Each structure stands twice: as structure tokens, then as C-alpha cells.
Structure 1
Amino acid sequence: MKKTPNFLADRICLNVLAHSVENAKDCYEAAEGHVVLGVLSKNYDTDEAAIADMKLYQAATENALSVGLGAGDPNQSQMVSRISGELQPQHVNQVFTGVGTSRATLKQEETVINGLISPTGKVGMVNIATGPLSSQVPAGEVPIETAIALLKDMGGSSVKYFPMKGLAYKDEYEAVAKACAENDFMLEPTGGIDLENFEEIIQIAVDAGVKKIIPHVYSSIIDKETGNTKPKDVKVLYEMMKRVLNQ
């Protein structure tokens, strides 16, 4: 599997959506390679179409591909696993219950696979019932430490904490960051992150001691007319990342 020069080496790596191959290249350059580009499986009718198109993104960005579900849609879980096995991307987004399948399909340990867990309104507790069936029943609330251990058991690399709604769950997010640091696990804050709250969100994770942080910044930096993620905003976020790390 071809690696990007910065993805696994850096403490913070952006995750933004790519609307086209050209948009992916522009964003990759704006972040000087410190980014993975999300392409959503939900946008494709078949595995074959997704694989053919995503290979173009891989070629244009040194395989800085993040295979996405599509707004955390649990019904995309199996498709993500299937196409990731073929593509061998740098990064895979999964619902909690899909992590083991993705790792088994990839047949290697290098690709970062996140597992989606959600806020519960209770500090230290998270909802792991994010799969196709489990998301339709009452929440499965467990201590964050338990969720991390389960993800490790399944071959997961990181917690995808979604939907955060920016800093609406700040106290809960701080507890998640602390647990990720104490258990040597990556953290991917996701949902409602924008140019105003980005720096505080990554600062919380850095202060907690998280070893690798992959913030997802999506709709807030997308041009509503073109659908493209704005490279100039990606550059602003990258400058914020450098500022936090160089303090």
C-alpha cells in the first residue's frame, strides 16, 4: 500500500470532503499533504463505479483517500468494507459494528479505520449502537474506555466522535479525548466543526495528550454553489494546526 508522506507521521491530519479529483488535488496541495480526502460510498450505485472513480482520487493525491459512508449512514457499512478491500486506502470510515469486517477485508494493519460512537449527554459514556440494526434500537451506552477496548479488539484505529455539533458536548468530548490519550488511541472529532471552533477543538485533544487527531471539517468549508471544499479554507485550517502544535 502506498503511503502519503505525512498522514501517519503527523500528530494532526485534516479530513475534508473532495467534490472532484481536481478539488481533491487542490485541497491536498493547500494542506501540503497533511490531509485525507473523503469520498462518500453513498454517492455511487455500485461497488465497481466507486472503485473505478476512487482510484482516480488515489492517483491524484498519493493515496490520501478516506473512504466515507455518507453522513454516517450505517447502511453503507458493508459497501465501505468491500470497496476498501479492493482500494487499500489510507483511511476508512466505519460505524462501530463494521470495524471488524473492514479490518478483515483489508488484510493489513496500516490503514486507519475509525469506529463511529456518539455523545449521550453523559460525561464518560458513549453510544456504540451505530450499526445498521443497532442504530434502530435504544442506545447502547458504555464507558468510553469500554468502547475503545472493543474497537481495539475489532482492529480499529480510532474513535470517530459524531455528531459533536461543534462544542455542544464539550465536557463529553474532553472525557473522550482524555480516554483516547490514556489508552493510546487516535481521535477523530466530527460534526459541526468550522473555522471558528476548529482551533479550540484540536487544542482540547492536544492538551489531553492524544497521539493522533484527525478532525473532520465538512459542510462549513464547502462552497454552496460549486459543491467544492474551499482550498483557501483548508489552508486556514492547516495554519491553525501548525499554530496549535508549535505553541
Structure 2
Amino acid sequence: MKSFIERAIGGKVLLNIQTRSVEASVQAAELLGKAVFTGVMAKDFPVLEEGVRYIQALQERKVQVSAGLGDGSADQWEKALQLALHTAPLHLNQIFPAAGLSQYALRMQEAPTLVNAMVRPAGQPGIVDIGTGPLSQQTGSARVPVEAALAMMKEAGVQSVKFFPIEGSKRLEEVRAVARAAAKEGMMIEPTGGITPDNAAEIVQVCLDAGVPCIMPHLYGSLKNPETGDLDKRKLEATYRSIMSLFGE
């Protein structure tokens, strides 16, 4: 966790973004340095080798990579893990049921990868849905207290909880409850879904107030330029400025 905090904006915040090109990712890295990660989604690469080559191209340009599923797609969990095993990115997004397995497999390869475990809101602060796998998500009965979910993560060596989809500012009380539980366990939180340059600071503030050691909000579609479909650097800068304002900068 320390290495992640050392990369963070204000010592606390990392931004997870998505681009459509290596050059856009390089521009983001030049702007925010180690405080930004580019997400590469397994869903976007039907052929595994193509995804591996793309991640390697980013890494060659010193871009920090976060391998992921793609819209939380449960059926992509194994491909996401394979991407990580082939490229050793610094970060991997994973479904709750496969997070421990993924972290262990990467640790055995001596990869530096930090793996998160994705849980979903259950509509009640303090309760989360851990059924984010291809089978468990169909049961509709995998809701547990957030404290129990985090305890299971820690038992499996997982240090970060991804909370998706939070629907922007709609579920702030649920975000607050997860953040408070994560703070007690010394875990990172990754709020995801509907985060924009306009509401990012508000969501980050909720997590900061809870006392978590590190926060990684995911901003994907909201940072795109509608004309190019790629990253809009101005929107990224606006997000950065709004978050830095929380630290008096």
C-alpha cells in the first residue's frame, strides 16, 4: 500500500482513467505523473495477445497500467488476470470471488500488482453485494455487512475495495459507510461509476473524511472528448484542480 500512497495526489488520491491511444495515456502521465493510472479493459481485446501488446506499449512509455474487466463484466475475470500475469501491471481490477486467487497468483510471480475486489451497492449503507462473479451475480442473495466483506478480502491478501457502480453522487451514504469500514482496516477504496470532473471532489472528500489511506476514483467516459472519443486533457486537468483544492492547493 505504501508504494501506492507515494504515488498519490496530496498523498491520498490516485486517478484511474481510460484512453483510446498510447499518446493520450502518455499525455496524462506527463500531466499527473505517478498519480494517474490508465485502465486497459480485457473486454476491449477479444484476442489476449493484442491486449498484452497494448499494455506493453504503454509500459514502454512509462505509463502506469490498471488492467481491468470492462464495465465490471464478470465473464472477463480470467482474461483480466491473464493480462496481468503476462504484463505485471501495478494494478488489477477483479471480481470479488477471484480477487484472492489473482493476488496470490501475481504474488507468486513476484509481480508488483495490487488487486482490488469489486463489490456492488446493495441500496443500504453498510451492506454490500459480493456476488460480482459470473455465477454469484445471478443468485441475488450475496449481500453482507461491509465489515464481513473486507475481512474476507484481507484474509485473501486483498488490500483494496472497488465499489461499483456508485452512480456519481447518488450513493454518497453508501460510499461513506464503505470508506469508514475500509479506513478501520487500513484498506484503499476505489469508488467507480458516474464520477465526473464536477462531482469527483465531493466523492473524494467523503472518503478523505472517513480516513482511508488511499483513494482511487475511476473516471472513464466523463473524461472523453466527444469528437475524438479519446481523453480530453482539459477535463482531466479540471478534475485534478478540483481534487487539489481539497488539500488547499
Fold match (TM-score > 0.5): yes
Paired residue for 1:178? 180
1:215 aligns with 2:209: no
Deviation string 1:129-157 (CA, Å, 9 cap, x unpaired) is 00011111113111111111111122212
With structure 2 as the length reference, what TM-score do the two structures score?
Answer: 0.92
Paired residue for 1:33? 34
Deviation string 1:148-199 (CA, Å, 9 cap, x unpaired) is 1111122212110000001111111111111111111100010001121111
Query: How far is 1:225 from its partner?
Result: 2.5
Taking structure 1 as reference, are residues 145 and 110 closer, same or farther at Cα in structure 2, changes over 3 Å only? farther
Q: Is the 8 A contact 1:99 1:114 kept in 2?
A: yes
**Following superposition of structure 1 onto structure 2, how do residues 149-188 of structure 1 map, counting pairs within 5 Å?**
149-188=151-190
Paired residue for 2:22? 21
Q: Is the 8 A contact 1:38 1:66 kept in 2?
A: yes
- The separation in 1 between residues aligned to 2:18 and 2:176, in whole angstroms, is 25
Q: Is the 8 A contact 1:84 1:105 kept in 2?
A: no
Q: Give the SS at the match of 2:204.
A: helix
- The separation in 2 between residues aligned to 1:70 and 1:93, in whole angstroms, is 9
Match of 2:230 among 225, 228, 231: 228
Which has the higher mean CA deviation after the structures are superposed, 2-11 or 95-104?
2-11
For these two proteins, the number of residue pairs brought into alignment is 245
1:121 aligns with 2:123: yes
- The separation in 1 between residues aligned to 2:50 and 2:85, in whole angstroms, is 15
1:87 aligns with 2:83: no
Paired residue for 1:190? 192
Q: Is the 8 A contact 1:27 1:230 kept in 2?
A: no
1:68 aligns with 2:68: yes
With structure 1 as the length reference, what TM-score do the two structures score?
Answer: 0.93
Query: How far is 1:236 from its partner?
Result: 1.5
Q: Give the SS at the match of 1:32.
A: helix
- The separation in 2 between residues aligned to 1:166 and 1:237, in whole angstroms, is 14
Deviation string 1:81-136 (CA, Å, 9 cap, x unpaired) is 11201111011011111102211221247422111101111111000000011111
Unmatched 5+ stretches in structure 1: none
Q: Give the SS at the match of 1:113.
A: strand
Paired residue for 1:245? 247
Which has the higher mean CA deviation after the structures are superposed, 35-44 or 151-160?
151-160
Q: Give the SS at the match of 1:33.
A: helix
Q: Is the 8 A contact 1:4 1:63 kept in 2?
A: no
Q: Give the SS at the match of 2:94.
A: coil
Unmatched 5+ stretches in structure 2: none
Query: How far is 1:5 from its partner?
Result: 7.2
Q: Is the 8 A contact 1:4 1:33 kept in 2?
A: no
Paired residue for 2:49? 48
Q: Is the 8 A contact 1:82 1:105 kept in 2?
A: no
AA in 2 matched with 1:19: R
Flag the structure with higher helix content. 2
- The separation in 2 between residues aligned to 1:14 and 1:212, in whole angstroms, is 11
CA RMSD in angstroms, aligned pairs only: 2.1
1:199 aligns with 2:201: yes
Query: How far is 1:46 from its partner?
Result: 2.0
> How much identity, in percent, do the aligned residues show?
33
Q: Give the SS at the match of 1:226.
A: coil
Q: Is the 8 A contact 1:117 1:161 kept in 2?
A: yes
- The separation in 2 between residues aligned to 1:27 and 1:4, in whole angstroms, is 19
Q: Is the 8 A contact 1:41 1:70 kept in 2?
A: yes
